[in-house]
Structure 1
Amino acid sequence: MTTVFVSGANGYIAQHVIVQLIAKGYDVIGSIRSEEKGEKLKKNLNSSKFTYVIIPDIIKEDAFDEVLKANPQITAFLHTASPVVFDVDDFEQDVIIPALKGTVNVMNSIKKFAPQITRFVYTSSFAAITSSEHTKDTVITEDTWNKIARDGGVEPMLAYRVSKTFAEKSVWDFYEKEKPNFTFNVVNPTMVFGPQAFDSEVKGTLNFSAEIINKILKLKPEDEVPEFRGGFIDVRDIAKAHLFALETEKTSLRLLCVEERFSNQSCLDLIHKNFSLDLPKGSPGTGSDFSQMPILDNSKTKALIGPFIGLEQSVIDTVKQVLDNQK
Structure 2
Amino acid sequence: MSIFVSGATGFIAQNIVKQLLQANYKVVGSVRTQEKGDALKNNIKDASLQAENFTYEIVADIGAEGAFDDALKAHPELEVFIHTASPVKFDVKDVKKELIEPAINGTTNALKAIQQYGKNIKRVVVTSSLAAVAGSRTVLKDGESVTEQNWNPVTEEEIKDPSDGYAVSKKLAEEAVWKFAKDKSTHFSVTTILPGLVTGPQAFPNFDRDGLNFSSETINKLLKLKPNDEVPKGAGLFVDVRDCARAHIVAFEKESAVNKRLFAVAGKFNSQEVLDIIRSSFDELDQISPKGNPEDAKKYAPRSDRYDQSVTRSVLGFEFIDLKKSVVDTVNQLLDD
TM-score band by shorter chain is: over 0.9
Distance of aligned partners of 1:3 and 1:29 in 2 relative to their CA distance in 1, 3 Å threshold: same
Corresponding position of 2:334: 322
**What is the aligned partner in structure 2 of residue 286 from structure 1?**
296
How far apart are 1:301 and its partner, in Å? 1.3
* 2:188 is aligned with 1:177: no
Report the count of equivalent residues.
Answer: 324
Q: Which residue of structure 2 lines up, in the alignment, with residue 158 of structure 1?
A: 164
User: Which residue number in structure 2 is paired with residue 252 of structure 1?
Assistant: 259
2:237 aligns to what? 231
| Structure-2 separation of matches of 1:304 and 1:288 | 30
3-state SS, counterpart of residue 293 of structure 1: helix
Separation of aligned partners in 1, 2:99 and 2:62: 12
**SS at structure 2 position matched to 1:287:** helix
Q: How far 1:207 sits from its partner (Å)?
A: 0.8
TM-superposed CA distance for 1:198, in Å, is: 1.0
- The letter of the residue matching 2:179 is D
Structure 2 equivalent of residue 41 of structure 1: 40
| CA deviations over 1:64-109 (Å, ceiling 9, x no partner) | 1111112111111000000001112211011100000110111111
Question: CA 1:160–1:291 in structure 2 vs 1: closer, same or farther (change >3 Å)?
Answer: closer
**Cα distance in structure 2, aligned partners of 1:304 and 1:147:** 26
Could you say what the CA RMSD is over the residues aligned between the two structures, in angstroms? 1.3
Paired residue for 1:311? 323
Distance 1:134 1:153, change over 3 A: closer
Does 1:302 find its partner at 2:313?
Answer: yes
Partners in 2 of 1:320 and 1:123 — Cα distance? 27
Measure the CA separation in 1 of the matches of 2:125 and 2:312.
15
Q: Which residue of 2 is the match for residue 143 of structure 1? A: 149
Structure 2: tracts of 5 or more residues without a match: 46-50
Question: 1:66–1:291: structure 2 CA closer, same or farther, 3 Å change rule?
Answer: closer
Return the offset for 1:291.
5.7
Residue deviations 1:235-268, cap 9 Å, x none?
0000110000011112111111111111100000
Identify which of 119, 133, 140 aligns with 2:137. Answer: 133
Q: How does 1:113-128 map to 2 (within 5 A)?
A: 113-128=117-132
Return the offset for 1:133. 2.7
Equivalent position SS for 1:223: coil
Does the CA-based 8 Å contact 2:193-2:264 persist in structure 1?
A: yes
After superposition, the C-alpha distances for 1:41-75 in whole angstroms (9 at most, x for unaligned) are: 00001111101111110111111111111211111
Tell me if structure 2 keeps the 8 A contact 1:152–1:159. no
Counterpart position of 1:56: 60
Aligned to 1:19: 18
Equivalent in the alignment of 1:108: 112
Amino acid at match of 1:54: I
TM-score by length of 1: 0.96
| Runs of 4+ residues deviating >4 angstroms | 135-138
Q: Which runs of 5+ in 1 are unaligned?
A: none
Give the whole-Å Cα distance in 2 for the aligned partners of 1:264 and 1:243: 30
As a proportion of its length, which structure holds more helix? 2
Provide the C-alpha distance between the structure 2 equivalents of 1:45 and 1:151, rounded to a whole number of angstroms: 44
Structure 1 contact 233–260 (Cα < 8 Å) conserved:
yes
Structure 2: which amino acid aligns with 1:199?
P
> In 2, distance between residues paired with 1:155 and 1:282?
28
Taking structure 2 as the reference length, the TM-score comes to 0.93
Q: Distance in 2 between matches of 1:68 and 1:154?
A: 38
Distance 1:104 1:309 in 2: 33
* Distance across 2 between alignment mates of 1:122 and 1:291: 28
Partner of 1:187: 193
For the residues of structure 2 that align with 1:187 and 1:292, how far apart are their CA atoms?
Answer: 23
**Is the CA contact 1:135–1:292 (under 8 Å) kept in the aligned structure 2?**
no
1:202 shift after superposition: 4.6
